[in-house]
Amino acid sequence: MLLAYRFALASPRIRASAVEATEFRALANEMDVTAVPTIVVNGAPQWAGSVPERTFLERVLAATFE
């Protein structure tokens, strides 16, 4: 989550937020969260688990331009 927040601080075009899946089960189910962290881009789950910064950037960009 820290990496997502860093990206959001670096660009006004990026927003980041964290949701506690155990407290917001309906939202977690809606977003198909099965692991933590699950990264959601433009409302669609993209991947689960931590990744290095470069991989995170590549995946966010790929998801944005699909």
Tokens representing 19 are: 């949701």
Does position 65 have pLDDT exceeding 90, yes or no? no
Closest alpha carbon to 46 in 35, 2, 8, 22: 35
User: What's the CATH fold of domain 2-64?
Assistant: Glutaredoxin (3.40.30)
Q: Indicate the domain borders of the chain.
A: 2-64
Q: Specify the pTM.
A: 0.78
What is the distance between the alpha carbons of residues 64 and 18, in angstroms, rounded to a whole number?
Answer: 19
Per-residue pLDDT of 6-62, as tens digits, reads 999 999 988 998 999 999 999 999 988 888 899 999 888 899 999 999 999 999 999
> Reduced to 3 states, what is the DSSP secondary structure of residue 46?
strand
pLDDT for 25 = 93
pLDDT for 1 = 84
